[in-house]
Amino acid sequence: MKRLTILGATGSIGGSAADLLRRHADAFAAWALVGHRNVDRMLELVHMLRPARVVMTDGEAARALSGRLPAGVTLESGMDAAIAAAEAPEVDMVLAAMVGSVGLPAALAAVRAGKRVGLANKECLVTAGRIFMETARASGAEVVPVDSEHAAVHQCLVGHDRNSIRRVVLTASGGPFRDRDPSTMADITPEEAVAHPNWDMGAKISVDSATMMNKALELIEARWLFDLRPEQLSAIIHPQSLVHGLVEYVDGSVLAQLAEPDMRGPIAWAMQTSPRLESGIPFLELARRGRLDFEAVDETRFPAMRLVRRVLAGGDSLSIAFNAANEVANQAFRERRIAFTDIVRVVEAVLEASADVSVDGLDDVWSRDLEARRRAEDVIGSRMGGRLDAAR
Ligand SMILES: NC(=O)c1ccc[n+]([C@@H]2O[C@H](COP(=O)([O-])OP(=O)(O)OC[C@H]3O[C@@H](n4cnc5c(N)ncnc54)[C@H](OP(=O)(O)O)[C@@H]3O)[C@@H](O)[C@H]2O)c1
């Protein structure tokens, strides 16, 4: 029996993982479930999966849950308890699915403890990719991507020599605004941005998909996961989201992974690569689907994809600033404090003011992350307001 800790159990990825655990209860069990604030969802999950331990990182949520758990389930609160659940000796695998760079300490603890880590939380690699992957190499931890594009690439790399890779291509649906009139992009509401055409995801990543910040973050994630040079990384628009990722080899062969868009596929792959696990996703009927379309990314419509080239060519500090500024701007947009088109403008303004250096320790990561967050708030609060009004 393999025992799991799920970080971010109450989220969208956590829900897909819960379904897989239910399907494979003979071979996998939840040892710890970690959530933040969603008490009702955690209660449902506890009754479904019967973990030994529950952690709510938010103290108030933990108090609200207190006394409501079945006998034998222990309750803890705070990020330190989440870290302890990630590195506990009872655990074989950790699914890292908190949202944002707040998920880094617990995911890194799992890596340091040598666990198999299913990594959904891309912000970990964007903020501390070098440290994360070096720690995995030192501990022997296996990091298996849960992002669908990276899980696809991971599958296309099996059995191939690394030096034979020419390029890795991540597909992008283009989100809900791929064909929207650019002159109306500033009017996009949070409700429109969160409604993704192909994927049912959490609010933050849905907005990231709409700006294509998500694809930009994924290129940085791929760089660290697969140890690639910037010129080996590219993205292509594929509106149907059926081809998830491709690897071009030096002999001209291109391997691709296809599946219906459903995160249970990548999570099942992260849980067990061989033999493959039945995941519950419907089989891909290509004859019924009829066509697969591809087009180049329009960097004028999606300036995040232009900006990320600078980040990929630069030092670690730029990735940290890129991610932190995006987290702040994404939230500000969801809170209706800025327009949709301002998200990338805020990120660009923060990047312009950030140093371009390499970063070695976690303390340095956090201080640069904080600095970028403060800068982003300043941009939103002052300069941006003026620019915005002028633009409308
Ligand atoms: N959803 C997808 O299809 C998908 C695909 C690829 C990659 N990912 C990545 O997977 C991660 C999770 O995405 P998601 O869509 O599942 O997000 P989500 O539905 O918003 O869930 C986020 C999870 O993180 C927890 N959380 C939020 N703020 C927290 C904090 N301050 N401290 C600790 N935990 C916190 C939430 O807890 P509460 O809800 O209890 O507050 C929830 O369990 C993200 O990094 C995303 O980029 C997601």
Give the Å distances, CA to CA, from 309 to 121, 299, 303, 348.
21, 11, 10, 12
| Whether residue 232 sits in one domain with residue 111 | no
Of 16, 42, 39, 17, nearest to 30 by C-alpha is 17
Strand partners, 2: 28
Q: Spell out which residues line ligand 1, taking CB within 6 angstroms.
A: 8-14, 35-38, 57, 97-99, 102, 120-123, 147, 199, 201-205, 263
Residue with tokens 């969801």: 334
Give the domain extent around 125: 2-145
For residue 305, being part of any structural domain is answered with: yes
Ligand 1 centre to CA of 341 (Å) is 23
Alpha helices in 25-122 (DSSP H): 39-49, 59-65, 79-87, 104-112
Mean pLDDT by 10 residues, the chain (392 residues): 98 98 98 98 98 98 97 97 98 97 97 98 95 97 97 97 97 92 92 88 94 97 97 97 98 98 98 97 96 95 96 96 97 96 97 94 96 97 58 38
pLDDT confidence of residue 182:
87
Distance, CA of 153 to CA of 12 (rounded, Å): 22
The count of other CB atoms within 10 Å of the CB of residue 284 is 12
- pTM to 2 decimals? 0.94
Which of 88, 113, 145 delimits the end of a domain? 145
| Whether residue 216 sits in one domain with residue 89 | no
Coil, helix or strand for 333?
Answer: helix
* Protein residue closest via CA to atom 6 of ligand 1: 147
* Protein residue closest via CA to atom 15 of ligand 1: 202
Distance, CA of 98 to CA of 8 (rounded, Å): 4
pLDDT confidence of residue 382:
83
Find the CATH number of the domain harbouring 80: 3.40.50.720
Which of 91, 117, 145 delimits the end of a domain? 145
Ligand 1 centre to CA of 251 (Å) is 39
Q: Which helix (H) or strand (E) holds 97?
A: none
| Whether residue 239 sits in one domain with residue 91 | no
| Whether residue 74 sits in one domain with residue 209 | no
Ligand 1 centre to CA of 205 (Å) is 8
Which of 108, 129, 145 delimits the end of a domain? 145
* Protein residue closest via CA to atom 24 of ligand 1: 98
3-state secondary structure 247-290: EEECCCCEEEEECCCCCHHHHHHHHCCCCCCCCCCCCCCHHHHC
Angle CA 167–173–178, to nearest 5: 120
Sign (positive/negative) of CA torsion 337, 340, 345, 351? positive
Sign (positive/negative) of CA torsion 340, 343, 349, 351? negative
For residue 277, being part of any structural domain is answered with: no
Ligand 1 centre to CA of 175 (Å) is 19
